[in-house]
Amino acid sequence: MDPEVTADVFAFLHNYKNEPKAKEALLRFLQARPAREPVVSLIPVEEYAMRLDAIIELRDIYRQQTNEQDFEFTGPGFLHADIPDLVGTLALFRQPHQAEYADRLLQVLQPALFSRPDSSHSGQSSKSKNRNENEKSNCLDLDKKVCVITGAPNPHVCHIIPFAWNKKAANQATTFNFRTAMATFLGLPNDAVTRDAIRSLHVELGSSDHVWNMICLSPLLHDWWGRGYFAIKFLGDEALGDGKSSVKLQFVWMPLFINKGTAKETINLEEQRDPQTWLSKSLTHHHGERSQSCRPGDDCPTCHLAEKVICQTALTHRPVWSGSIFRVTRPTAGVPFFQRMIDIQWAIICAASLSGQAQDLEIALKRDPSDPEGQKVAPSAGLGDPEILEWLQNVQLGEEQEHQDTP
């Protein structure tokens, strides 16, 4: 055993020899065996080359169309794009008569994922929807009225995708315009579940205010989640019987200060082929933990800052590390939608952190003062003008209809 650890344990027990609670606390810490699994790279390496080739070709099409030879994608545009959709899009754009679509599609890809709410919509409609207290109560019961990550009592019942996205009529309309980019560029499976899940975010006021879009977190973790300090990843589910399933989730701390750019800053795509210059090169520090690239005795200011964002379990006081596994119980029928909500959240926060736009995410996900549990504001048309998004939707529908009409 490490002599330093042995000496510290004996010193602790000696110092608190007349305080049984201190010994009990130490034993709980030492005996705890929290589940943990390796974190898969935030940038999917197996798709990296395909993604890069497709994005570069799309960029070159745009340059040829506009004569803007210096045009580059932003970090989110590069990180979000789903491979099958990119390949399909390029197949369409390689047809000469369809080439003009590149200009409009890039307007969808290029702007910030989120931006400040558009105040011009505030007077369009006063219609709004209050939270569904029955669904909120059901979530509390399923999560045993504690934070699912730390076990702390009195949690917030948090929406995974913000309730504000369809709480008000104006926000609902904005989310409707956002749907195409969400489906296409967040890497979601192209299936009926995805289409139905995304439809649930805009079909009517309060349409996503269900248990499949809720999870219990401590007030502090709820705040940090909105700041993009960590993300939650869906790993699988297992039927328990009686219409319930156990869902396996993973807690992952996000990168800290990989650069101080914003979502609108461009990246050099050619540099993304070189491991010395690609985006993941800067992923040396994460919130909540000391960097493994720094030695224990190093006086690293970034490590000091990262370690101040600390999360501990309520009973054992063990730190919650990246890769920590936790489980929640959900109605089996709602698990597919629950998975899509977690997947959307994961894609958004990862891209925000990897591209250096965490500060933009924090601005966009600021608290709605009208919601006592701090639900977040709705997205603006940050993925492109509503007309462009509507155009893209119509193009896709037209392609589907043409395919159906082909004998």
Q: 200 or 378: whose pLDDT is higher?
A: 200
Write out pLDDT tens, residues 61-85: 777 767 778 777 665 555 555 544 5
Range 128-141 burial, b when 16+ CB lie within 10 A, else e: bbebeeebbebbbe
**Nearest Cα to 181, choosing from 337, 346, 398, 386?**
386
Mean pLDDT computed over every residue of the chain: 71
Q: 212 or 164: whose pLDDT is higher?
A: 212
The alpha-carbon radius of gyration of the chain (Å, integer) is: 23
Write out pLDDT tens, residues 148-190: 999 999 999 999 987 666 666 665 555 565 666 666 566 678 7
CB within 8 Å of 93: residues ≥ 6 apart: 58, 61, 99, 101, 102, 105
Is residue 337 over pLDDT 50?
yes
pLDDT of residue 278: 65
**CB-CB contact of 399 with 92 (8 Å):** yes
pLDDT of residue 323: 94
Residue 250's SS3 state is strand
pLDDT of residue 326: 96
Residues 176, 184: Cα–Cα separation, whole Å: 14
Residues 183, 192: Cα–Cα separation, whole Å: 11
In sequence order, which ranges of 205-329 are alpha helices (DSSP H)? 219-226, 301-307
CB within 8 Å of 148: residues ≥ 6 apart: 155, 215, 216, 217, 249, 326, 328
**Nearest Cα to 187, choosing from 328, 334, 85, 307?**
85
**Nearest Cα to 318, choosing from 274, 355, 288?**
288
Residues 265, 315: Cα–Cα separation, whole Å: 44
Count Cβ atoms within 10 A of the Cβ of residue 191 and give its class: 0-12 exposed, 13-18 middle, 19 or more buried.
Answer: exposed
Report the length, in residues, of the chain.
Answer: 407
CB-CB neighbours of 67 under 10 Å: 7
